[in-house]
Amino acid sequence: MAETTETTAPEVTLDEIVALCKRRGFIFPSSEIYGGIGSTYDYGHYGVLLRNNVKNEWWRAMIGERDDIVALDSAILQHPRVWEASGHLEGFTDPMVDCRTCGLRFRADKLEDAQCGRKPSKHPGEFSECDLTEAREFNLMFETHVGPVKDTGSITYLRPETAQGIFVNFKNVLQFARKKPPFGIAQIGKSFRNEITTGNFVFRTREFEQMEMEYFVPPDEAPKWHEYWMDERMRWYTELGIRPDKVTLRAHGAEELSHYSTATSDIEYLFPMGWSELEGIANRGDFDLTQHARMSDEKLEYFDQDKGEAYIPYVIEPAAGVDRAMLAFMVDAYDTEEVEGRKRTLLRLHPRLAPVKAAVLPLVSKDGMPERAREIYADVRAHVPAEYDEGGSIGKRYRRQDEIGTPWGITVDGETMEDGTVTLRDRDSLEQERVPAEGPGERLAAKLAKPWRTPKLG
Amino acid sequence: MAETTETTAPEVTLDEIVALCKRRGFIFPSSEIYGGIGSTYDYGHYGVLLRNNVKNEWWRAMIGERDDIVALDSAILQHPRVWEASGHLEGFTDPMVDCRTCGLRFRADKLEDAQCGRKPSKHPGEFSECDLTEAREFNLMFETHVGPVKDTGSITYLRPETAQGIFVNFKNVLQFARKKPPFGIAQIGKSFRNEITTGNFVFRTREFEQMEMEYFVPPDEAPKWHEYWMDERMRWYTELGIRPDKVTLRAHGAEELSHYSTATSDIEYLFPMGWSELEGIANRGDFDLTQHARMSDEKLEYFDQDKGEAYIPYVIEPAAGVDRAMLAFMVDAYDTEEVEGRKRTLLRLHPRLAPVKAAVLPLVSKDGMPERAREIYADVRAHVPAEYDEGGSIGKRYRRQDEIGTPWGITVDGETMEDGTVTLRDRDSLEQERVPAEGPGERLAAKLAKPWRTPKLG
């Protein structure tokens, strides 16, 4: 067993995360060979696997384990009236000013960092020699045109949130899914916001993926379900390994609330740049269904047969971001320590989130070890996502797996050839135990299996 | 066992598929309450589950079972120079003419169906009283602007294919993934084409999802790998249940080839509207890497250490569509037959594709059957996606499950309460056998498991 001499465990910086993501191929700047395109990222191999695991765990918690939520996948291109009804066309804006000297455009509420492009002042935010226009509202939705004619009639928008695709399908889902409140509609998909201020790596990007669930409830039960979903979502993060002291619930003050919300709480995580929103859990009331009913002339209500009356359900919305959740899981899992005089960096990811579950490694590339390791690898990968690696020193190969968060290493060594056992190395404790070389795949799959959980309702 | 009196098995029409999709909540027109938005669709519960299964099977064949392919998820918004290099900016166009009388725009090569909006002729395609402009090329990429300023410098496009996101990341992947040709990069994601002519339900839509894999090979091995991927992809469809006589490979003639391709074969499926492309398998040569290397001044080549020389790999590309594949699987699985004097409609979907694997049904809602059925349901859903249904007659519930393609029905009846067995009903044969009520979940999971397959290479 390796000896851990010192745990340095510094709080990680965003730069360290960015460096690891690049070094191990989790995340690259998009269109990098052309100099990139502002705040847009491409996910490499391990990044995709990690993202998929995050999405799968959310999906399992929303759809797999529950009978009261159905799935939806609505289009990114929707009818422009959707955004009129939702309030995005009018209200989803930032105030902008133009500099008459240099032509650049700045956020009116962030002028303290702005500089004229032609006559920069020593002090950002000073525009003494320049002339700024009055602030105008700039809509954050990306605009495009459908069909061959570019006129006002063909304008449409890339959706700025997945939620509205759920509301406009409320009637369809009621008809076919035979559900009654409380019931939910869950969706994972990309959204787009033409943000003026992006940054903090994948925390705020113009193209991002959401995991949103709209839970329709009788109006008088809304506060109870709001509480319920705050608990459920907090539990989801901590069960997947987020340290409880790094995550918190913060209720919005009255002045912070969105136009559609009667109450919102954010799940915040202690990112390297400070406490920041990981997920919003809002009580949207009947705002959205009422708006769409008015705009479309459709009845978007539920008829309660027991009470003999129709009502518009209230909506509780846990809205999470895939990219943000992935970043939080990586930040939380990042650690460095000194082992036998050498520093190692590792991601202590929950095994269900880890991109690769097991690495199969021959100690050296001779004496029949690679051949035996390949046999064992064939067994392991039939059960769990695995890698085989025979290049370089064993220490270097372990370090590589530590950095991508692989929880288990299986090493074939001299003893394997004699007694039919392999070393099973634990990423976190560095403990190494001898286990039979036969059937490790099935044993690892059993370690990964999540005990079935039936969510308590009400 | 039920008796099948007659199999009518008509070829299905697209209208019948559309009707089933609406009736059972697979697919809805997008923004339907606002009158829809041309040729865009939202996927309902079973549609999402079926789509996810299609994607998972592709992912498993590309990533899960192989060591020579890595994953990527590149952004939809990319640098505009990507589309300059790829040829899309110049060449991805349809010729259009404007009618000077009514202002409408028509495809110049499809005028035979066109009509002036103000002075329609009796014969479509006749524009005797109208005046058409010269044909101009209309680009099929959706255009938008990034950032607050709308000028030529901020123009970007929604990607019309996922492939280019792979090519521009070639160098990144080479660096971190430690692969050498032959190796591949696989990606699933949405693409957008502002098609003038859409239609045939989800066959051709403006927003669609692609499953593309770019396989980089030494140039002299390209023809061999082209053959290899044609075989692999044909096998994928037929192993997932597509009838071999409904699917065929058709090589493009010289006049059909895209500008980037040295050889392309389409996998075509016999859709209700005739033989149509399901997937294209192209030998793209070194076109894309050469173009991006030229435009970006990056070296996009592989240095072969054994031969001591660098070369630009050739690319073999199997490019499939999620929506199209899903449509083919549904069309192929659709069947109607008369059973005991009543017509039933069913989807004979491969169990791994079926949205729901098992339905647990109490025969009647009394005598303790619902309670026992719920216990069994709890066991089943812990192992496979399942539904519990106790409403309405047992026949009606079976028909519902047949239409969504559920392969197995587990019915709790009077005998269950006496001898601890349940009925296991087979969707396709309608055979019913008595099996123990204990542990059906594990047995169904075993039926679903796919034998591990290690792809043969070279």
Domain at A323, CATH number:
3.30.930.10
- Burial code (b: 16+ CB inside 10 Å, e: under 16) for B136-151 equals eebbbbbebbbbbeee
Instruction: Look at residue B167 and give its three-state secondary structure.
Output: helix
B131 & B223 share domain: no
B277 & B391 share domain: no
Q: In chain B, positions 370-389, which contact chain A (CB-CB < 8 Å)?
A: 378, 382, 385, 388
**What angle separates helix A14-23 from helix A322-333, to the nearest 10 degrees?**
100
A43: which chain B residues are within 8 Å (Cβ-Cβ)? 72-74
As a whole number, the mean pLDDT across chain A is 91
| Angstrom distance (rounded) from CA A302 to CA A310 | 5
| Angstrom distance (rounded) from CA B12 to CA B153 | 50
B99 & B229 share domain: no
Domain at B375, CATH number:
3.40.50.800
A142: which chain B residues are within 8 Å (Cβ-Cβ)? 144-146
Given this model, what pLDDT does residue B285 score? Answer: 96
Contact at CB, A79 and B24, closer than 8 angstroms? no
Contact at CB, B72 and A156, closer than 8 angstroms? no
Q: Mean pLDDT lowest for which of A7-21, A425-439, B177-191?
A: A7-21
Q: Min CA distance, B84 vs chain A (Å)?
A: 11
B251 & B290 share domain: yes
Residue B313 falls inside a structural domain = yes
Residue A1 falls inside a structural domain = no
Interface test with chain A among B77, B105, B150, by most A beta carbons within 10 Å: B77
Given this model, what pLDDT does residue B457 score? Answer: 65
| Angstrom distance (rounded) from CA A196 to CA A130 | 21
**Closest CA in chain B for residue A208:** B75
Cα angle for residues A46, A52, A55 (degrees, 5° grid): 145
In this predicted structure, the answer to whether residue A129 has a pLDDT above a threshold of 80 is: no
Residue B351 falls inside a structural domain = no
| Angstrom distance (rounded) from CA A437 to CA B377 | 37
Query: Per-residue pLDDT tens for A171-221?
Result: 999 988 888 999 999 999 999 999 877 789 999 999 999 999 999 999 999
The sheet that has B183-192: what strands, in order across it?
B69-71, B183-192, B207-217, B314-321, B274-285, B263-271, B247-251
**What angle separates helix B440-448 from helix B369-381, to the nearest 10 degrees?**
40
Q: How confident is the model at residue A128 (pLDDT cuts 50, 70, 90)?
A: low
Q: How confident is the model at residue A124 (pLDDT cuts 50, 70, 90)?
A: confident
B142 touches chain A (CB under 8 A): yes
Instruction: Look at residue B116 and give its three-state secondary structure.
Output: coil
Contact at CB, B73 and A32, closer than 8 angstroms? no
The sign one gets for the Cα dihedral B346, B350, B351, B352 is: negative
B264 & B188 share domain: yes
Given this model, what pLDDT does residue A127 score? Answer: 77
Q: Min CA distance, A251 vs chain B (Å)?
A: 31
Residue A346 falls inside a structural domain = no
B47 & B113 share domain: no
Query: Per-residue pLDDT tens for B321-348?
Result: 999 999 999 999 999 999 888 999 999 9
DSSP state of B371: H
Q: Which residue has the tokens 């993926």?
A: A209
User: Which tokens is B138 given?
Assistant: 């209309």
Residue A321 falls inside a structural domain = yes
The sign one gets for the Cα dihedral A406, A408, A412, A414 is: positive
A308 touches chain B (CB under 8 A): no
B193 touches chain A (CB under 8 A): no
Q: In chain A, positions 63-92, which contact chain B (CB-CB < 8 Å)?
A: 64, 67, 70-79, 81-82
Residues recorded for chain A: 458
In this predicted structure, the answer to whether residue A386 has a pLDDT above a threshold of 50 is: yes
User: Which tokens is A118 given?
Assistant: 């032609």
- Out of B35, B44, B171, whose CB is closest to A176? B44
A152 & A289 share domain: yes
| Angstrom distance (rounded) from CA B9 to CA B205 | 29
A42 & A119 share domain: no
Contact at CB, B42 and A72, closer than 8 angstroms? yes
Sites in chain B below the pLDDT cut of 50: 1-10, 458
Q: Min CA distance, B225 vs chain A (Å)?
A: 23
Q: What pTM, to 2 d.p., does this model score?
A: 0.93
User: Following CA atoms A305, A306, A308, A314 in sequence, which dihedral angle do they give, to the nearest 10 degrees?
Assistant: -80
Contact at CB, A190 and B190, closer than 8 angstroms? yes
Task: Judge contact between A433 and A385, C-beta under 8 A.
Answer: no
- Write the DSSP string, A250-273: EEPPTTT--TT-SEEEEEEEEETT
ipTM rounded to 2 decimals: 0.93
How many inter-chain contacts (A to B, CB under 8 Å) are there? 221
Residue B346 falls inside a structural domain = no
Helix (H) or strand (E) run with residue A31 in it: none
Task: Please state the domain count of chain A.
Answer: 3
Percent of chain A with pLDDT over 70: 96
Residue A279 falls inside a structural domain = yes
Range of the domain at A407: 356-457
User: Which tokens is B443 given?
Assistant: 């047995």
B70 & B162 share domain: yes
B49 touches chain A (CB under 8 A): yes
Given this model, what pLDDT does residue B128 score? Answer: 66
A43 touches chain B (CB under 8 A): yes
Residue B2 falls inside a structural domain = no
B249 & B217 share domain: yes
A300 & A326 share domain: yes
B148 touches chain A (CB under 8 A): yes
A64 & A202 share domain: yes
